[in-house]
Structure 1
């Protein structure tokens, strides 16, 4: 393997979602976006709901997009391992389902506000963030 290559693995409770060699991976951590290349110092970071962008070795002009809903990332020995609550590759996202989830979450937010139910409001806001993340990843919109 070349010196400028790292392995990117994304795993969820349902199993392996992504496994490729890359020159660059960008993740959304709780402190901001983090770009990782081969030979990066070891690091562990918690992830936000957001996209993971991977520049693959076999297709350098293209970035794979993966919608990730929380979890953490560990970089060590030229392997970037992401353990996520859930993750979905852009090509696998059903846009119609994601839009329906966004609308359901927006309705739930309005209902929770009307009832002044803070717990339900918080859950609905997270559901909305996840739906918007999936929509943005499917449509190729970064960091929206």
Structure 2
């Protein structure tokens, strides 16, 4: 059975920016933007400057970032930003 949500954690050295359940995330990777949906393959990617865009029940939210690193493992997306 396919999972319909991801746990998204966006953190910086100073604070937790966002933590919650989302349906999708678009991340500005160094090789270009990429989307993460439930049951995505595990990955680690450095980030470039841009926006992390995530969707909660169809409503999109965005966080501006200058860089960082993203990890996707078992429907948990953890993004450490600068």
TM-score, length-normalised on structure 2?
A: 0.93
Q: State the Cα distance separating 1:34 from its structure 2 match.
A: 0.6
Within a 5 Å distance, the mapping from 1:30-69 to structure 2 comes to 30-56=30-56, 60-69=57-66
**Structural RMSD (CA):** 1.1
Q: Deviations over 1:44-95 (max 9, x none)?
A: 0000010000001xxx23101101110000000100000011xxxxxxxxxx
Looking at secondary structure, tell me which structure has more strand per residue.
Answer: 2
Selected match of 1:81 from 51, 57, 78? 78
Q: Give 4+ residue runs of structure 1 displaced > 6 Å after superposition.
A: none
Greater C-alpha radius of gyration: 1
Equivalenced residue count is: 81
Indicate the SS of the match to 1:75: strand
Structure of greater relative contact order (alpha carbons < 8 Å, 6+ residues apart): 2
Q: How does 1:2-17 map to 2 (within 5 A)?
A: 3-17=3-17
Q: Distance in 2 between matches of 1:75 and 1:61?
A: 21
Q: Point out the structure with the larger helix share.
A: 1
1:70 pairs with one of 67, 70, 78: 67
Matches of 2:30 and 2:13, distance apart in 1: 21
Question: Gaps spanning 5+ residues in structure 1: where?
Answer: 86-144
